[in-house]
Amino acid sequence: MVPTSYYLVLSAILFGLGVLAFVFKRNIITIFMSIELMLNAVNLAFVAFSQALHKSDGEVFVLFVIVVAAAEAAVGLGIIILTARNRRSLNVERVDLLKL
């Protein structure tokens, strides 16, 4: 049997890598993908807790997270298409209208 803490450590590693990708990457699509990576890491922790506590509630939460992530991906990619059309670039540093 695998100890629960192994799953939690893996979840923390994946979340940290997601944060790292979020600040490292300059491409707006890749930044969006790193958000999905972080959501996946949280889902792993949810399922691990749900199995450790022998309750199914955590898995229901995961289903909700997946639904929200799918909706977020649809709207977010719509926004990405719009900014790419207006700025003619996928680099986030080109989106600087609020900068002084």
Using CB under 8 A as the binding rule, the residues of this chain from 34 to 63 that contact other proteins are: 34, 36-37, 40, 43-44, 47-54, 56-57, 59-60, 62-63
Q: How far is the CB of 93 from other proteins (least distance, A)?
A: 6
Q: Are 44 and 10 in contact (CB under 8 A)?
A: yes
* Interface ranges with other proteins (CB under 8 A): 1-10, 12-21, 23-27, 29-30, 32-34, 36-37, 40, 43-44, 47-54, 56-57, 59-60, 62-64, 66-75, 77-82, 84, 90-91, 93
